[in-house]
């Protein structure tokens, strides 16, 4: 009975991990990663459209992203959208493609990125812990209303803590991998 009641809380913890992965994927780590363009919107015939829906995005080299719009007439709009975004790279428009060339990271910039990664990790841990708090509060109410026993509540507390520990460990693993990626580039 209790196993199913953990599901919504576990789903929320998984979402916190998903948000962390999404945020870290958009972080520029010196290597070309098309995910950095996920939030770039292009004015396509009056409608804001994600850049990845307007053409092919490839990574021909470790530090180059190549964007080839299916409609060559929107090259200027794509270029403007990238310049307006906060990715910090100037696009190079050659008439058919747009190239984004990522400069190598300096040691100072790497350290700054590691701080950002750790901050994102802390925010994910806080989110996971908030889910734990919500779960414990819910089950305290269930105990108070005599829907579960004191023994069941102790089991619930232990199980929710184990779930929390599992997702906190996953956050640590993701953060460590991203830090390693940043420092090795």
Instruction: Grade residue 89 by pLDDT with cuts at 50, 70 and 90.
Output: confident
The dihedral region occupied by 136, where left means phi > 0, alpha psi between -120 and 50, and beta the remainder, is alpha
Contact 67, 57 (CB under 8 A): yes
Cα-based angle 99, 103, 107 (whole degrees, multiple of 5) = 160
User: Residue holding tokens 């870290």?
Assistant: 24
Q: pTM value?
A: 0.72
What percent of the chain has a predicted confidence (pLDDT) above 90? Answer: 43
H, E, C per residue of 66-78: EEEECCHHHHHHH
Which pLDDT score, from 0 to 100, does residue 159 have? 93
pLDDT tops 50 at residue 56? yes
Q: What's the whole-number mean pLDDT along residues 47-74?
A: 89
Q: Where are the domains of the chain?
A: 2-25+106-184, 34-101
Cα–Cα distance between 135 and 156 in angstroms, integer? 9
Q: Any idea which fold 34-101 has? A: Gyrase A; domain 2 (3.30.1360)
Does CATH place domain 2-25+106-184 in 3.30.420.40?
Answer: no
């Amino acid at each position: 009975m209790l196993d199913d009641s953990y599901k919504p809380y576990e789903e929320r913890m998984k979402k916190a991990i998903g948000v962390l992965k999404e945020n870290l994927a958009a972080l520029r780590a010196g290597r070309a990663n098309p995910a950095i363009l996920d939030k770039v919107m292009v004015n396509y015939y009056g409608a804001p459209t994600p850049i990845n829906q307007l053409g092919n995005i490839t990574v021909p080299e470790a530090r180059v992203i190549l964007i080839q719009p299916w409609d060559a007439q929107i090259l200027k709009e794509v270029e403007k959208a990238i310049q307006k975004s906060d990715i910090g790279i100037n696009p190079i428009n050659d008439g058919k493609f747009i190239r984004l060339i990522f400069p190598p990271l300096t040691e100072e910039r790497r350290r700054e990125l590691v701080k950002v990664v750790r901050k994102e990790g802390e925010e994910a841990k806080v989110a996971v812990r908030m889910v734990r708090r919500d779960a414990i509060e819910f089950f305290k109410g269930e105990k108070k209303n005599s829907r579960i026993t004191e023994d069941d509540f102790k089991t619930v507390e232990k199980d929710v803590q184990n779930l929390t520990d599992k997702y906190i460990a996953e956050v640590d693993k993701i953060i460590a991998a991203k830090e390693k990626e940043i420092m090795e580039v």
